[in-house]
């Protein structure tokens, strides 16, 4: 049974192409009005998932529900869903208003009504001033906004977008990202967008569905994905740069890090099924810590500045630590020379733990960090 509040719901949806499993059985529910972004590296099954929802690809198993109705066997045209492949596709010989009205005319709506709805949509999106202009006279950003308006005027159950900003560069990409979110908010539409760009996902989504190798790894609010990644893959993939990942090992009450003289004490809030490798002394685990949670401290562990990068609002330090590096953000006013020794510690509330074998997150809370006494 599909809950009535879900606009889109996947139940055990999977897709094989011959011997390739593009998507493993996946459950996913999108609420009305929600902006969900499917995020993952190339080839992880994002497009296949979206095409199955659109009705352009048949699931090998499982069912798809739109507004509580099982649409698994319905063709794309019967699903009341708009699939936006790419935006630049306005008719150059028509005005903006005519472009927006065109789909409605094609569906048999009288011209006056189609024109009225087109102007209404343009007004809602703050594009009314462009109504009589021709696409060639518009900026690239405005052309894309009008193309979106044309898709929105149909008011389908949901919009599916596959890397819609993929071909745009630099500032236009950023501008359109803001517009997409703004237009989504104004229209109240339900949007499911696919991207491999974690920054795009973070800035657009109400919730992010992270995929890898055909599997849905984590589905949560951007902040939770960033703060509490479900496994090492998400920890590394989300954030720019991703989390610092350090090898660690139990030493009695404490956990010692490889390559850095810091000891950490943790409380185990719960037990995780299948997690055995890190139990008891000598067990291996991984610590994940974001660059903003690496702190300079007189009582911290020493490491050597390998490289510094001024980023305006802050500086990025690359610190050599054993055979690896540790990235730290520090306030813009503090300067270090390359080769200089600095002392660091970690903000306990910013420490995340992962199983040394499976890479899955562990429900450990870090109580304190202390520099290992010199032996
Ligand atoms: N029509 C197809 N025939 C065979 N293999 C396919 C087809 N479509 C996708 N695949 C495979 O399924 C996997 C997922 O592809 P896709 O959904 O396009 O990933 P993404 O959009 O995340 O880059 C890839 O291994 C891809 O090669
Ligand atoms: Mg794709």
pLDDT at position 207, please?
98
Residue 97: give the domain boundaries.
8-235
**CA atoms of 56 and 15, how far apart (whole Å):** 12
* Residue 1 within a domain: no
pLDDT tens series, the chain, 375 aa: 545 589 999 999 999 999 999 999 999 999 999 999 999 999 999 999 999 999 999 999 999 999 999 999 999 989 999 887 665 678 999 999 999 999 888 888 999 999 999 998 898 878 899 999 999 999 888 888 888 888 888 778 899 999 888 777 788 788 888 888 988 888 788 999 999 999 999 999 999 999 999 999 999 999 999 999 999 999 999 999 999 999 999 887 789 999 999 999 988 765 544 444 455 555 789 999 999 999 999 999 999 999 999 888 899 999 998 878 999 999 988 889 999 999 999 999 999 999 998 999 998 899 999 998 754
Instruction: Specify whether 134 is located in the same domain as 214.
Output: yes
Burial of 24 (0-12, 13-18, 19+ CB in 10 A): middle
pLDDT at position 323, please?
78
* Residue 334 within a domain: yes
CA–centroid distance, 47 to ligand 1, in Å, is: 7
* Residue 299 within a domain: yes
Task: Return the ligand number nearest the Cα of 39.
Answer: 1
Instruction: Specify whether 220 is located in the same domain as 263.
Output: no
* DSSP 3-state of 109: coil
Tallying the residues shown for the chain, one arrives at: 375
Count of structural domains, the chain: 2
CA–centroid distance, 60 to ligand 1, in Å, is: 14
Instruction: Specify whether 97 is located in the same domain as 214.
Output: yes
Beta-strand relationship, 254-257 and 260-268: antiparallel
Q: Whose CA is nearest to atom 17 of ligand 1?
A: 45
Instruction: Specify whether 178 is located in the same domain as 251.
Output: no
Q: CA angle at residue 165 from 65 to 292, to 5 degrees?
A: 95
Beta-strand relationship, 158-162 and 191-195: parallel
* Boundary of a domain, candidates 197, 218, 235: 235
* Residue 269 within a domain: yes
* Residue 3 within a domain: no
* Residue 220 within a domain: yes
Instruction: Specify whether 192 is located in the same domain as 281.
Output: no
Encoded tokens for 309: 């990068």
Asked if 315 and 334 touch (Cβ cutoff 8 Å), the reply is: yes
* Residue 156 within a domain: yes
pLDDT at position 82, please?
87
Q: Which atom of ligand 1 is nearest to the CA of 196?
A: 22
Picking from 88, 209, 81, 64, the residue whose alpha carbon sits closest to that of residue 147 is 88
Task: Return the ligand number nearest the Cα of 48.
Answer: 1
Instruction: Specify whether 25 is located in the same domain as 168.
Output: yes
Q: What is the CATH number of the domain that holds 139?
A: 3.40.50.300
pLDDT at position 269, please?
64
Q: What is the CATH number of the domain that holds 314?
A: 2.40.50.140
State if residue 47 touches ligand 1 by the CB under 6 angstroms criterion: yes
State if residue 48 touches ligand 1 by the CB under 6 angstroms criterion: yes
CA–centroid distance, 23 to ligand 2, in Å, is: 12
Instruction: Specify whether 133 is located in the same domain as 202.
Output: yes
* Boundary of a domain, candidates 207, 235, 263: 235
Instruction: Specify whether 217 is located in the same domain as 132.
Output: yes
Instruction: Specify whether 158 is located in the same domain as 261.
Output: no
Encoded tokens for 181: 């979110």
Q: Whose CA is nearest to atom 12 of ligand 1?
A: 22
- DSSP secondary structure of 154-200: T--SEEEEESTTTT--HHHHHHHHHHHHHHHHHHT--EEEEES-HHH
* Boundary of a domain, candidates 204, 235, 266: 235
**CA atoms of 135 and 93, how far apart (whole Å):** 8
Q: Which atom of ligand 1 is nearest to the CA of 51?
A: 17
Instruction: Specify whether 228 is located in the same domain as 263.
Output: no
* Residue 2 within a domain: no
Instruction: Specify whether 226 is located in the same domain as 263.
Output: no
Instruction: Specify whether 76 is located in the same domain as 221.
Output: yes
Q: Which atom of ligand 1 is nearest to the CA of 48?
A: 17
């Amino acid at each position: 049974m599909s809950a009535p509040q879900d606009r889109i719901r996947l139940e055990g949806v999977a897709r094989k192409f011959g011997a390739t499993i593009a998507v493993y059985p996946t459950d996913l529910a999108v609420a009305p009005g929600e902006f969900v972004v499917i995020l993952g590296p190339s080839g992880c099954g994002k497009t296949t998932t979206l095409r199955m929802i659109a009705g352009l690809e048949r699931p090998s198993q499982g069912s798809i529900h739109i507004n509580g109705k099982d649409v698994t066997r319905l063709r794309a045209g019967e699903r009341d869903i708009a699939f936006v492949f790419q935006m630049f596709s306005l008719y150059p010989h028509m005005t903006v208003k005519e472009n927006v009205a065109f789909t409605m005319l094609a569906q048999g709506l009288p011209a006056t009504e189609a024109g009225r709805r087109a102007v209404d949509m343009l007004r809602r999106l703050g594009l009314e001033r462009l109504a009589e202009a021709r696409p060639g006279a518009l900026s690239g950003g405005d052309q894309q906004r009008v193309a979106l308006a044309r898709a929105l005027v149909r008011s389908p159950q949901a919009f599916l977008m596959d890397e819609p900003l993929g071909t745009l560069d630099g500032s236009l990409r950023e501008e359109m990202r803001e517009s997409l979110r703004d237009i989504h908010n104004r229209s109240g539409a339900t949007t499911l967008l696919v991207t491999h760009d974690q920054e795009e996902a973070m800035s657009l989504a109400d919730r992010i569905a992270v995929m890898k190798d055909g599997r849905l790894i984590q589905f949560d609010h951007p902040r939770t994905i960033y703060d509490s990644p479900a496994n090492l893959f998400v920890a590394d993939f989300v954030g720019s740069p991703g989390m610092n990942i350090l090898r660690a090992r139990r030493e009695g009450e404490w956990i010692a890090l490889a390559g850095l003289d810091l000891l950490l004490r943790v409380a185990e809030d719960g037990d995780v099924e299948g997690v055995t490798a890190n139990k008891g002394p000598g067990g291996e685990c991984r610590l994940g810590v974001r660059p903003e949670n690496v702190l300079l401290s007189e009582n911290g562990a020493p490491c050597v500045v390998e490289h510094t990068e001024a980023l305006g609002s802050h500086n990025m330090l690359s610190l050599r630590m054993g055979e690896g590096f540790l990235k730290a953000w520090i306030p813009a006013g503090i300067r270090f020379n390359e080769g200089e020794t600095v002392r660091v510690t970690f903000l306990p509330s910013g420490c995340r733990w992962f199983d040394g074998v499976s890479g899955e997150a562990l429900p450990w809370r870090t109580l304190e960090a202390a520099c290992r006494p010199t032996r």
